Amino acid sequence: MITFLSAVVLLIVGYAVYSKIVERVFGINDKKLTPAYENPDGLDYVPMSWWKGSLIQLLNIAGLGPIFGAVLGALYGPIAFIWIVIGCIFAGAVHDYFSGMLSLKHNGAQYPALVGKYLGRPMQAGINLISILLMILVAAAFTAGPAQLIAELTPLSFIVAIVLIFSYFLLAALLPVNKIIGRVYPVFGGILIFMAVSIAVALLFTDQSIPNITTANLHPENLPVWPLLMVTISCGAISGFHSTQSPIIARTIKKQSDGRKVFYGAMIAEGIIALIWAAAGMTFFGNTEGLQQALNAGGPAGVVNEISITLLGTLGGILAVLGVIILPITTGDTAIRSSRMMLIDLIKKGFSMADSKVIISAATIAVTVPAFLLSTIDYTFLWRYVGWTNQLVATVMLWTGAMYLLYNQKAHWVCGIPAVFMTAVVCTYVFYAPEGFSLSYPLSIVIGGILTLLIIIWYVKKIVSQNKKTASMNKAA
């Protein structure tokens, strides 16, 4: 229990201290108008208060991610606490802050456009495709579960439930951000927080003791911690999906200093939620073997339902149903919205402003249809491909932040160090994982290490080149 409580405190201290360092490194100016005031369009560029933006951001980036991922990550034991704390403070929250603030700095630009500006056009072309694909996969994967539960609890069939959910997706993606998302998301964000806090309080008063720190791998199937844990627990530590969501809120922020509370703060809140559910997974079933059996029987949704009902009674059952239905849907709708925004950025140059409504509608339908079709197949198959794609996007965003800082003669290591770490994660994972090349573990580590070394060499060359350029400019001045 001491480890769990210490981890929560460390996340709070991380926000109080490190977020200010990150903000200072980035550099803010509250005198400069934000995109919400410079380009108000009544659709995406709409000023909103920081507290409302924070709750919407939390729900956008969270959904069931910090619940399901943390429960699966709990199979590794208390080492999951270490990854959540370190990953959240030094990688995930930094990633979210820079993805949001760089978007704000560049007029609400989407993630691929930021990649293009700081990593080059070829990288932007590839990341455009990967990002939109990730959004479609997320929308599809986060829809099947709620639709199945709706079919079990109501007379509606699975297909009818899917159709209703995607009808809502279309509305949420097409209507102004303050009409549906701005009104109901703060409420759902409050439900997410209340659910997590209630579980945490209940855990503190159970007979079972939350396990304390150990670096031992307790996974029942003896799966390696590196790099699987870093992909299993993404939301709550670091998730590339967040970089696609942050521009939605970047277009609504009233002043630059709100960015620390909205982007860094929402990620810390998600980290705390992940800690709570990881602790619940480790504790409730006695040990990781018990958790594995529960997962085999009912999956993550069944585990969440059993924990909630047992610890919180009827209220827990209601919260569990709300969580398993509403939270993934609120992730899916913003995934469709952000993919719509990315697609518009790709095609809008050939159209006039008079065609804007047609473009918006066509782009929304273009990304909704494939997500709808994919949602009807096995979502566990989809989820296998979401994990690595998600962390690849996160890695590229960290390198984007590192290049921004380097080009502006700032402390680029703030993004550079976590970027190197995540590069090693994705390079090793893709060769070892079954959805990748399924190579042996030692060989995957060697190949991943070599690729990471090559990226480090590229990074060092960039630093040397930029330092020479800066020295030359200073000498000329």
In a domain? residue 423 = no
**What is the rounded distance in angstroms from the CA atom of residue 18 to the CA atom of residue 26?**
12
* Nearest-10 crossing angle of helices 441-476, 379-407: 30
In a domain? residue 156 = yes
Segments forming the whole domain that contains residue 354:
2-390
Neighbours of 140 (CB within 10 A): 25
Neighbours of 121 (CB within 10 A): 9
In a domain? residue 26 = yes
**What is the rounded distance in angstroms from the CA atom of residue 105 to the CA atom of residue 101?**
6
In a domain? residue 408 = no
**What is the rounded distance in angstroms from the CA atom of residue 26 to the CA atom of residue 408?**
9
Write the Ramachandran bin of 108: left for phi over 0, alpha for psi from -120 to 50, otherwise beta: left
In a domain? residue 59 = yes
**What is the rounded distance in angstroms from the CA atom of residue 258 to the CA atom of residue 170?**
29
Domain count, the chain: 1
In a domain? residue 78 = yes
pLDDT in tens, the chain (477 residues): 788 999 999 999 999 999 999 999 999 999 999 999 998 888 889 999 999 889 888 888 876 778 888 999 999 999 999 999 999 999 999 999 999 999 999 999 989 899 999 999 888 888 888 888 888 887 887 777 678 777 777 888 888 988 898 888 888 777 887 777 777 777 777 777 888 888 888 888 877 788 887 777 889 999 999 999 999 999 899 999 899 889 989 999 999 999 999 999 999 999 999 999 999 999 999 889 999 999 888 778 778 888 888 888 887 777 767 766 777 777 788 788 887 777 777 766 555 544 556 666 776 777 777 877 777 766 556 666 778 888 999 999 999 999 999 999 999 999 999 999 999 999 999 999 988 899 999 999 999 999 999 999 999 999 999 998 888 877 766
Q: What is the pLDDT of residue 354?
A: 46
Domain containing residue 18: CATH number: 1.20.1740.10
Question: Whole-prediction pTM value?
Answer: 0.90
**What is the rounded distance in angstroms from the CA atom of residue 260 to the CA atom of residue 98?**
10
Q: What is the pLDDT of residue 357?
A: 63
